[in-house]
Amino acid sequence: MTRTIRVLIAEDHALMRDGVRLILDDADGIEVAGEARRGDDVMPAMGRVNPDLVLLDLRMPGADGLTVLTEIRERYPDVKVVIFSAMDSRDHIETALRRGADGYIVKTINPLDLPSAIRQAVEGSVFHPFTLLTTSADSAARDAGLSEKELAVLRELAQGRSNKEIASALFVSEQTVKFHLRNIYRKLGIATRTEALRYAYQNNLVEAPL
């Protein structure tokens, strides 16, 4: 990129907003053009600061992120929108991408990777949202000997999904899900779904529910 990317941060939590600004202020070729603290503040801010990209939280007071995303797509089709959310379920990610988001970044991302993800979105690269999850889970999975697909199955399991639902979410057969679960049990030295979840939570493979 030879021009500066102007970013509008739409985030209601002051600490997160300030942290993102610090990271982006230090990044070459990126400028924080403005901030919105409520969902219904985003569209007025768009008109004022003319951003190239909106970094948009899904949960904000005033208007939810998906509603704002739809409105941006209708009124500013050339502006890139990257969802920036603590929610990492496949349903949330796929819904946002179907609604027109150019990317989805989970807030557990390594902060140093955020500028690169923003550049990818502006340049038109379509990146898989799960590559932007925290690296601690990936490291724990590697230490346990789990493959990327097995980790994906474990994440779906943590959402309370049945084998059939996991198969549908991951576009595989139920038999394949059972195969991965057997491998997970063998590698972790466990025998039940409950033990698998306990291991996952204790070792940061998935985020424990609130």
CATH, domain 5-132, list 3.30.1330.30, 3.20.20.70, 3.10.110.10, 3.40.50.2300: 3.40.50.2300
* CA end-to-end span of the chain: 40
Q: Where in the chain is the domain with CATH 1.10.10.10?
A: 135-202
pLDDT bucket at 33, cuts 50 / 70 / 90: very high
> Is 107 within 8 Å of 132 (Cβ atoms)?
no
Q: Exposure pattern of 67-83 as b/e (b: 16+ CB <10 Å)?
A: ebbeebeeebeebbbbb
**Distance between CA atoms of residues 150 and 158, nearest Å:** 12
Q: What is the pLDDT of residue 132?
A: 45
Distances (CA, A) of 21 to 15, 26, 33, 50, 107: 10, 9, 10, 17, 14
Q: Give the residue among 208, 209, 202, 87 at the shortest CA–CA distance from 144.
A: 202
As a whole number of Å, the CA-based R_g of the chain is 19
Average model confidence (pLDDT) across the chain: 83
Q: What is the pLDDT of residue 127?
A: 46
Residue 139, pLDDT > 90, answer no
Q: Which residues contact 32 (CB under 8 A, 6 or more apart)?
A: 7, 9, 20, 21, 24, 25
Q: What is the pLDDT of residue 122?
A: 82
CATH class label, 135-202: mainly alpha
**Distance between CA atoms of residues 155 and 159, nearest Å:** 7
pTM: 0.61
**Distance between CA atoms of residues 151 and 184, nearest Å:** 9
Q: Give the residue among 61, 72, 71, 66 at the shortest CA–CA distance from 38.
A: 61
Q: Where in the chain is the domain with CATH 3.40.50.2300?
A: 5-132
∠ Cα 26 28 32 (to 5°): 65
Stronger pLDDT, 169 or 12, i.e. the higher one? 12
pLDDT bucket at 12, cuts 50 / 70 / 90: very high
Q: Which residues contact 51 (CB under 8 A, 6 or more apart)?
A: 6, 7, 8, 33, 34, 79
The identity of residue 33, as a single letter, is: A
Residues forming a β-bridge with 104 = 83
10 Å CB burial of residue 192 (0-12, 13-18, 19+) is exposed
Summarize the confidence of residues 81-106 as an average pLDDT: 84
